[in-house]
Structure 1
């Protein structure tokens, strides 16, 4: 069966056909890697092949066709209005959890800028019981997805959302112990060279960040001090070769660098300052 799916995807020039075929069998036929290896019979073969044909025909992200994807062990609803959760973003969440654990307060207030599907906000709240998270996003459609994810994970008392262009909808005197963000960070040149499956199907507004790719970092760093409690942390996910430039922005605005965290590929993926 897997060979049939791989052929369908290969014939349509879909990237990583073998890996995607295994995901299709896992998600639609509930087969383990061992089941696939042993060629276990599939009861819903027509459904599985229809899905593979749809993927081949549209070229859309597998996650969009499924309607969900996994992040830190939880299943999140995803749509074309939100970025698909990516493994490297776990480093951002883990950094926020580490800092939240060091803040000696009954309730640690966290702001997630550009919350998208809500995966960052949800996993911080789920893994740090002392936190309350406000997620903001300029897209109402993304916020609707985020709200569905919060409800599904039963975090409605710990995570709330607000439509906001970065800080625009924050209230006077509203303060946070930690601000986290995985903002748009793709430069115009890099955007033009993105994989077709990303450029054609994921929201441009969640990817593109001006000529340099640093526009949102600049805006957030400039405005963050007004909304951070004394000693509070500002934590970013960043793109390839951006960490050093962000550190310079921290220094320019009198933040003290706390951490630079590399991902599994050795890329400086998360920067933290206070």
Structure 2
């Protein structure tokens, strides 16, 4: 197998590097000290088109795949920003992919261009205090009502919850005891962060301070029908389109950080 980079891949790498050179180690040290989300960095990545690298061209993205996203994230990780630099943008790459795979054309038109441009920032309400890797055990529940759903529950380790205006939310629409399989009865929504119904509390951390992590409490959040992605009860299979490639990106980010550390040593 040939692991050498093509000319296009090398150009991609150089393009990412040209943005990263504007944000040196001192910049990331300041963000770690003040805990402020790196908005100027996020804006620079959006303006250069990198936030849409995996999004369909039809909606303003580049339509590229896991290989190109991995090259991008490796390069970001290699420039001194560590997990702060990577986490600030990789949520945009495959995190919203249930939209790409299962949303309607109208939903894609409404959501994807704003993610690509950086106008919208999305956080993810997947993990719960008693449901980490065992996603089927989530208890956040979306009760069907006229015109939509009322959601109640709790999430944890919600990254960028302090700054996001959108949330991709995983909730049960059928109780697990009423399902044939544990993976049934889970639905996925992409909706507004209504902070009158969503309370976000920052979790103190030793590192990656500028990309906040949070406990999230949802109390009576109304989600309209048009914010349901795909079919009700099929959300578990949809999130695999996010989680599987995300694991690859996190692995390559770790390699980039390690290589950067060796260079600095």
TM-score (norm 2): 0.30
If you compute each CA radius of gyration, which structure gives the higher value, 1 or 2? 1
Compare relative contact order (CA 8 Å, sep 6+) and give the higher one, 1 or 2: 2
